[in-house]
């Protein structure tokens, strides 16, 4: 299931997704000098994507503690694409440069090791609903693994917290007219961004319950 959800050749061969992944990987390779500065790397990648005509932005989710949900934040890239066939709602693709790294746990069981092996290493490009399903599956596998090892589940490993990382309320910024090449050649060391505000349309879970 995870391979079908997270690998670009799964789920019917989404050509837009495959081309987008190729472009992101090219940009990551081109800006490999920024790997130690993930924030700058994300902004450089967004600059490349926007220059190529994609509606890309850097998103930062942020949520307050609520119930059994611990406060937290996360940063990633998203790309908004037109609906298939010209009808329906726009499609939102989440782009994370180290998705699997967000799910590393201590003393994993063999089962959880197989779960990690099923996930792409490095860049992941996936539609929002597919991401939600994948995160739920991995978070549940992590819970079983930690329980089997006699470890308590920390708040930041709960399903609600994991989902909130990518699908919670977020602030989205897009590159300015500054070229993405400014990140490595000078220009203050970063690509200019403009804030577009929190997108209230994106919810973590149905109203009433919220998760990490």
Give the mean model confidence (pLDDT) for residues 61-78: 87
Stated as kind and residue range, the H or E segment containing 29 is: helix 15-30
Query: What is the pTM (predicted TM-score) of this model?
Result: 0.77
- Which is nearest to 56 in space by CA: 138, 183, 173, 152? 173
The answer to whether position 205 is within a domain reads no
Give pLDDT, residue 136. 95
Give pLDDT, residue 179. 43
**Unique residue bearing structure tokens 């919810």:** 203
Give percent above pLDDT 90 in the chain: 59
The answer to whether position 11 is within a domain reads yes
Per-residue pLDDT for 191 more than 60?
no
Q: Are 55 and 16 in contact (CB under 8 A)?
A: no
Give the mean model confidence (pLDDT) for residues 77-91: 83
CA 95 to mean position of chain CA atoms: 5
Per-residue pLDDT for 185 more than 50?
no
**What is the number of domains present in the chain?**
1
Per-residue pLDDT for 180 more than 60?
no
The answer to whether position 207 is within a domain reads no
The answer to whether position 211 is within a domain reads no
Helices 38-51 and 15-30, interaxial angle, to 10°?
Answer: 130
How far apart are the C-alpha atoms of 25 and 23, rounded to whole Å? 5
pLDDT single digits (tens) 109-144:
999 999 999 999 889 999 999 999 999 999 999 999
Print the domain residue range for 113: 2-198
Q: Are 96 and 75 in contact (CB under 8 A)?
A: no
């Amino acid at each position: 299931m995870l391979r079908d959800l997270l690998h670009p050749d799964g789920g019917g061969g989404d050509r837009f997704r495959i081309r987008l992944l190729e472009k992101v990987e090219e940009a990551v390779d081109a800006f490999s000098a920024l790997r130690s500065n993930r924030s700058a790397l994300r902004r450089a990648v967004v600059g490349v994507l926007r220059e190529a005509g994609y509606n890309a932005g850097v998103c930062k989710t942020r949520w307050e503690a609520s119930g059994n949900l611990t406060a937290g934040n996360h940063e990633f890239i998203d790309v908004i694409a037109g609906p298939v066939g010209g009808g329906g709602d726009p499609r939102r693709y989440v782009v994370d440069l180290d998705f699997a790294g967000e799910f590393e746990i201590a003393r994993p069981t063999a089962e959880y090791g197989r779960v990690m092996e099923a996930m792409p290493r490095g860049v992941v490009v996936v539609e929002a609903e597919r991401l939600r399903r994948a995160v739920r599956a991995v978070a549940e596998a992590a819970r079983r693994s930690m329980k089997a090892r006699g470890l308590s589940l920390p708040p930041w490993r709960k399903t609600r917290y994991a989902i909130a990382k990518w699908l919670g309320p977020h602030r989205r910024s897009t590159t300015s007219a500054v070229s993405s090449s400014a990140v490595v050649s000078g220009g203050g060391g970063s690509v200019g961004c403009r804030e577009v505000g929190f997108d209230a349309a994106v919810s973590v879970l149905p109203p009433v319950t919220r998760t990490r």
